[in-house]
Structure 1
Amino acid sequence: MVKSVSFTLGEHDRNFISNMVSSGRFGNKTEVVRAGLRMLEDYENKQKALRSLIDLGFEDIKAGRTTEYESAESLLNDIMED
């Protein structure tokens, strides 16, 4: 069951939503808000994954699993091999 929710938007956001609908990009205001929420959810999921990878990197550093490079070129070559 779909439940209606109301909230207050500032002028900038109201104008943006109206422009998205009037441009034909979206059929109505609800579609604009849903698209924005999907993008925010995707962004948050990517941020969570990135934080996890950063934590893994710090764990590797603490455990001494590191590689020293003589130059930026050798680092780049190693990256490109993966």
Structure 2
Amino acid sequence: MLELRPGCECCDRDLPPESRDARICTFECTFCADCAESVLGGICPNCAGELVPRPIRPPAALARHLASARRVFNPGCRSQQAI
């Protein structure tokens, strides 16, 4: 089950579970659409994986399976190279 992290790892922008602006890689690294597209070029700086739109969890399922509260923030992501 997706973790649905609450913020962009690059700029720390809030990304609530219903946000259509969240982008993730296969490791669930989470970025806002602005950072994913304009800063990172659609590639995760952590794993070099593709960043794609994060799916929206239906409200009934979200009530049973809450989104994560764990925030990951790497202010140096704008200069990081993918490994």
Larger radius of gyration: 1
Which TM-score band applies after superposition, normalised by the shorter structure?
under 0.3
Q: Which has the higher contact order (CA 8 A, sep 6+)?
A: 2
TM-score by length of 2: 0.18
- The structure with the greater share of residues assigned to strand is 2
